């Protein structure tokens, strides 16, 4: 019996994926299959987490190193049929008890005997050496496991219950035995009750994802449509494939970052700095400040369409909640910040009309999930974080430089971006922009005085490090990576 054998007593009761109102709908299995046929996308060969971009109910990340190449490869080959595919994850009836996906770092591929250059220098060098480039204050706050290059891979397990995940992990562990060492585990889950789908600051997440041509059957109005090769290597739109080995086709680079969020400190900042527009209470002014920092209200409604008051009905309507591009006829896109600040998180990371038309290249599929507990009453009262919590950030792309790295370094951390604004200089992304631990200025947050700079002395999001991984296709695992070499 395979150690991946599904335990009869550990059954999934609901979908592995959650779908709060306002997030794009899961493609219907038949529609996804039909769309994939037109572009010959083999959804049974693509790991499930890559294209779907929806929130999981519970998820655990198991980071490991490989001790015994030969045994590891034998066991991976025998267990590969249990790696969850896109076809399975997209269909609640076909979903296994727990999703199992696997991805390898550059050193992990080497530990398996593969020294091929995947034509992505961020992946080859690993994330640790890029800490300063990404704006991290150093690596002292990095989780020890991520310091250096010791992580060879990560298993991603997701389900609707932690018991099911743990039972599945016990089976995976039994399969690999001493051929791997579990280095570090991060447990994550959707937040409780009506906060499901919201990240720890309280904002609905996972609303704007690129529609993938050949997979997303019905893109929503305003949704960017990208070629599959922006996410999958070797597909139409992947401009680096010529320099990659053929087995890399249908895989994707997985950027992992453990991003700690200082929630009580963030809330205090909002409380202390309400935007006192006429007609707003201080509480409303604080909500507005948070909304302008993100570019969306906590409900998910975009400030570009709801600039002063939240609009929960708009937030819940996927046909409208992405249908904006910051431009309005008769208004100057280079100077107008009455609706959305240039520095807002969603404008910095997806500049829409501010940037080249359609912006086909700088897209990522985000598959992150909140980790660790809700803010305690003690932490809220003290306005101080005592327990690490945040976002287990996961992003898929075929080119880390054009994807995550551009979004973080060239956009969120670059004060002049978005370029070509007449005045003032936008400043840092107030949510994820980073300045190597030094304070960050942000302009445009106050609609009555867009020149007013806010000086953020606290990083509300702090990096605890991560790694760059490659999530190979199932056939690459069975036919190439596990071959005896
Ligand atoms: C703890 C850290 C983070 C938090 C709290 C956060 C929060 C959010 C929220 C609330 C949204 C709006 C909802 C949505 O459109 O899905 C969003 C969108 C987005 N975020 Fe983040 N995010 C974080 C980290 C990052 C990082 C590190 C990146 C990339 C470097 C990133 C890239 C994006 C992108 C591309 C969008 C979609 C923008 C759009 O298309 O409108 N986020 N994020």
pLDDT grade for 234, boundaries at 50, 70 and 90: very high
Asked, for residue 252, whether it belongs to a domain, the answer is: yes
Angle at 314 between CA 313 and CA 316, to 5 degrees: 70
CB 53 within 8 A of CB 394: no
* Percent above pLDDT 70 for the chain: 97
Q: Quote the ligand 1 centre to 294 CA distance (angstroms).
A: 8
Q: Which residues pair with 99 in a beta bridge?
A: 158
Q: Quote the ligand 1 centre to 226 CA distance (angstroms).
A: 18
Helix (H) or strand (E) holding 107: helix 106-111
Residue 232 has pLDDT above 50, yes or no: yes
> According to the model, what pLDDT value does residue 358 have?
62
pLDDT in tens, 255-296: 999 999 999 999 999 999 999 999 999 999 999 999 999 999
Asked, for residue 266, whether it belongs to a domain, the answer is: no
Residue 89 has pLDDT above 80, yes or no: yes
Q: What's phi and psi for 166, nearest 5 deg? A: -65, -40
The rounded distance, in Å, linking the Cα atoms of 291 and 286 is: 9
Mean pLDDT computed over 20-34: 84
Asked, for residue 298, whether it belongs to a domain, the answer is: no
* Percent above pLDDT 90 for the chain: 88
The count of structural domains within the chain is 1
Asked, for residue 121, whether it belongs to a domain, the answer is: yes
Q: Which atom of ligand 1 is nearest to the CA of 364?
A: 35
Asked, for residue 197, whether it belongs to a domain, the answer is: yes
> According to the model, what pLDDT value does residue 7 have?
46
pLDDT grade for 3, boundaries at 50, 70 and 90: very low
Residue in 467, 464, 463 with CA at minimum distance from that of residue 435: 463
pLDDT grade for 2, boundaries at 50, 70 and 90: very low
- How many of the other CB atoms lie within 10 Å of CB of 389? 19
CB 208 within 8 A of CB 223: yes
Asked, for residue 358, whether it belongs to a domain, the answer is: no
Mean pLDDT computed over 302-324: 97
Residue 1 has pLDDT above 60, yes or no: no
Contacts of 238 (CB under 8 A, 6+ apart): 229, 230, 232, 398, 399
pLDDT in tens, 418-469: 888 888 999 999 999 999 999 999 999 999 999 999 999 999 999 999 999 9
The rounded distance, in Å, linking the Cα atoms of 417 and 344 is: 11
Asked, for residue 313, whether it belongs to a domain, the answer is: no
Mean pLDDT computed over 174-184: 98
Using DSSP, state whether 399 is helix, strand or coil. coil
CA atoms within 13 A on the CB side of 12: 23
Mean pLDDT computed over 51-80: 96
**Range scoring the smallest mean pLDDT among 149-163, 279-293, 353-367, 468-482:** 353-367
The rounded distance, in Å, linking the Cα atoms of 9 and 256 is: 32
Name the residue range of residue 223's domain.
29-259+466-481
> According to the model, what pLDDT value does residue 357 have?
63
Note if 205 is an active site residue. yes
Residue closest via CA to ligand 1's atom 13 equals 205
Asked, for residue 472, whether it belongs to a domain, the answer is: yes
Catalytic annotation, pick one of 205, 250, 399, 401: 205
| Strand 365-366 to 440-442 pairing | unpaired
Mean pLDDT computed over 175-203: 98
Residue 29 has pLDDT above 70, yes or no: yes
Ligand 1 binding pocket (C-beta < 6 A) is 199, 201, 203, 205-208, 259, 261, 294, 296, 345-346, 349-350, 364, 390-391, 393, 404, 407-408, 412, 431-432, 461
Residue closest via CA to ligand 1's atom 12 equals 205
Q: Quote the ligand 1 centre to 345 CA distance (angstroms).
A: 7
pLDDT grade for 485, boundaries at 50, 70 and 90: confident
pLDDT grade for 214, boundaries at 50, 70 and 90: confident
Mean pLDDT computed over 145-172: 97
> According to the model, what pLDDT value does residue 8 have?
44
The rounded distance, in Å, linking the Cα atoms of 44 and 476 is: 13
What is the residue-averaged pLDDT of the chain?
94
Contacts of 449 (CB under 8 A, 6+ apart): none
């Amino acid at each position: 019996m395979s150690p991946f054998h599904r335990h009869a007593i550990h059954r999934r009761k609901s979908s592995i994926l959650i779908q709060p109102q306002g997030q794009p709908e899961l493609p219907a299995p038949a529609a996804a299959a039909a769309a994939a046929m037109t572009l010959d996308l083999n959804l049974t060969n693509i790991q499930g987490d890559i294209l779907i971009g929806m929130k999981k109910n519970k998820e655990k990340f198991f980071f490991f190193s490989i001790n015994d190449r030969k045994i590891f490869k034998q066991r991976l080959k025998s267990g590969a049929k249990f790696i969850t595919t896109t076809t399975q994850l997209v269909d609640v009836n076909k979903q296994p008890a727990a999703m199992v996906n696997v991805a390898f770092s550059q050193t992990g591929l080497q530990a398996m005997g593969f020294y091929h250059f995947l034509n992505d220098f961020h992946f080859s060098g690993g994330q640790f050496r890029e800490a300063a480039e990404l704006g991290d204050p150093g690596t002292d706050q990095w989780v020890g496991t991520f310091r250096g290059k010791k992580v060879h891979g990560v298993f991603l397990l997701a389900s609707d219950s932690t018991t099911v995940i743990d039972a599945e992990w016990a089976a995976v562990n039994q399969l690999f035995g001493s051929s791997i060492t579990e280095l570090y585990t991060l447990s994550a889950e959707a937040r409780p009750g009506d906060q499901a789908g919201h990240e720890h600051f309280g904002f609905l997440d996972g609303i704007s994802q690129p529609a993938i041509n050949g997979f997303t059957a019905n893109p929503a109005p305003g949704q960017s449509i990208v070629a599959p090769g922006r996410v999958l290597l070797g597909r139409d739109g992947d401009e680096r494939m010529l320099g990659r080995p053929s087995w890399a086709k249908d895989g994707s680079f997985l950027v992992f970052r453990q991003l700690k969020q200082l929630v009580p400190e963030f809330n205090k900042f909002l409380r202390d700095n309400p935007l006192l527009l006429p007609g707003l209470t201080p509480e409303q002014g604080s909500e507005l400040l948070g909304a302008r920092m993100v570019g969306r209200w906590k409900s998910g409604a975009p400030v570009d369409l709801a600039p002063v008051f939240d609009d929960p009905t708009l937030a819940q309507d996927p046909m409208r909640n992405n249908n904006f591009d910051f431009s309005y006829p008769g208004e100057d896109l280079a100077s107008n910040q009455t609706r959305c600040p240039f520095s807002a998180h969603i404008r910095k990371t997806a500049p829409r009309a501010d940037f080249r038309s359609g912006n086909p290249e700088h897209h990522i599929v985000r598959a992150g999930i909140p980790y660790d507990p809700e803010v305690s009453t003690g932490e809220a009262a003290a306005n101080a974080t005592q327990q690490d919590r945040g976002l287990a950030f996961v992003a898929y792309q075929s080119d880390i430089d054009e994807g995550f790295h551009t979004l973080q370094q060239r956009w969120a951390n670059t004060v002049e971006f978005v370029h070509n604004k007449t005045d003032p200089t936008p400043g840092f992304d107030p949510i994820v922009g980073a300045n190597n631990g030094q304070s960050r200025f942000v302009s445009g947050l106050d609609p009555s005085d867009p020149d007013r700079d806010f000086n953020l002395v606290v990083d509300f999001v702090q990096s605890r490090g991560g790694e760059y991984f490659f999530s190979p296709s199932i056939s690459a695992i069975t036919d190439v990576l596990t071959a005896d070499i």
